[in-house]
Structure 1
């Protein structure tokens, strides 16, 4: 039972163990600026081998939920510097997740009250979060507009600039969010991409934006400080693909030469079952295709893992295991896993928005 707790190196990032805190949106960054309370929150969890921050918008256009942080303004960089300093002071490592929500947004959150953007003008059958009278409220997403092809280089550059801002903010690296039905995933999948230009139709075209973004980021900060998150079959945010196995095999083969620090794969439905009955997927074959193409980045698995499943995953070829909701209520999860529990139960009413309650007030075992 030692491998989970053994040190590991992912690209240029040396980790104390193979336990990863998955990105968890908490809606506690008013005006998209990270707060001192967030520094406390992440610092409490710094015993993880790697912390991945909540999804962080690369631009105002990329915002899709109220009170989520950004990384495109000086005050945001300064806020994140407090967070990374707290984590590093506690001996941890932290990367930020770079995010553009695409169509999963609302006009109230967009610059000038404009429409959200998407590969195609297809409204997502999902909800986002606005703050109404100080209370987080779920509302239907707004009708998006299709991006013009000449807008795409600017979005790619937004990712590049956000990656550089992340390094300025003291992060050990970045994770490109290409999962869960957000912009890059919307371009990848047939259910949301009906384009007929160079970014639609064939697998190669639908994967084009993802690969342009990854190359821009790795050119800016180096592949050893960059990871990517993928969700081949999750139905999150109303995005599905008609044939995901060849799509993601192509993506991983193209990513292999870029020397990424890690590939983070959500198995099954995000936050739901690990198997999606009507969308079977062979994750072992995907990892094998990546390795066969020369991909050496760490393979990170995610979705519903506990201690036993994590040990099994490492024995079967995974390198890192991400834990999500368990980390909300258990800041010292590494120690609790070592001891086999006990685990604090999470308060779901405090997941999104609020202050210290349900955020920084969960007790550690030492208390």
Structure 2
């Protein structure tokens, strides 16, 4: 078949091949996803990125990392928030703490803000900005107000203490969901060398609308060596689980390890008023025995958790009725914003 192409200035067939090869090296047009900054990577750039990725050493993982799906420390930049961008919707008191509910102009996301002293506020701010986990309350913004530091976190108004006040009692499914969520949070904190010191009914909250159980109130948290990580938070989690089973906060006389040991020695279910409700929950009872076992170190408990934690698929919707009932039955004083 004759070639109808016009000859190049050189007039040789080799020049046609050279031009075709040159165009073949150019990247083909690609769909531009961001019209403000169109960018089509060249083959050379892609090869450089691949070589860089292969040169970065892999981070070794531990059994705990795989269990909790460890979330890396926050590296993204915090969005600078101007106070005039926030609207105060109202205020409420909860457990002696004053909260403000705010929203950004033009957005539907709610934020809870509380005021802390300088020392406690800076400690909580520093802790929350270092960590990121789905079962830990996310910090949104901070600002100074005179000598106090105001900290805004994601909206998680209902506390576990309020949930226990509704007329519908928690069953094993809900207890397992709560225990698993806080255990995962403590596993993550253990990897970071952080002890919370205030795991309880007031610091455990229910995030809305996705029904995550989150740990908050880090004003007393401390950092320590991983090898000296104590059982304190895990023991506190054990007492929280007992509160969930009892349906209310237990008296202080029952909240010590010696009382638990005496109850187990007498073959009693941790001093619960209605132990028959939990007679068929063997894995739950075994899990509590493991939490209260002071002869087993915290790193060992966290790296090899009891099978009760992961024995069933968790469904956040199991908490939906309690969110609705908290709204109706817990009459928290509310003052509308101006």
For this structure pair, what is the TM-score category when the shorter chain's length is used for normalisation? Answer: under 0.3
Q: TM-score, normalised by structure 1?
A: 0.22
Normalised TM-score (structure 2):
0.24
Which of the two has greater helix per residue? Answer: 2
When Rg is computed on C-alpha atoms for both structures, the one with the higher figure is 2
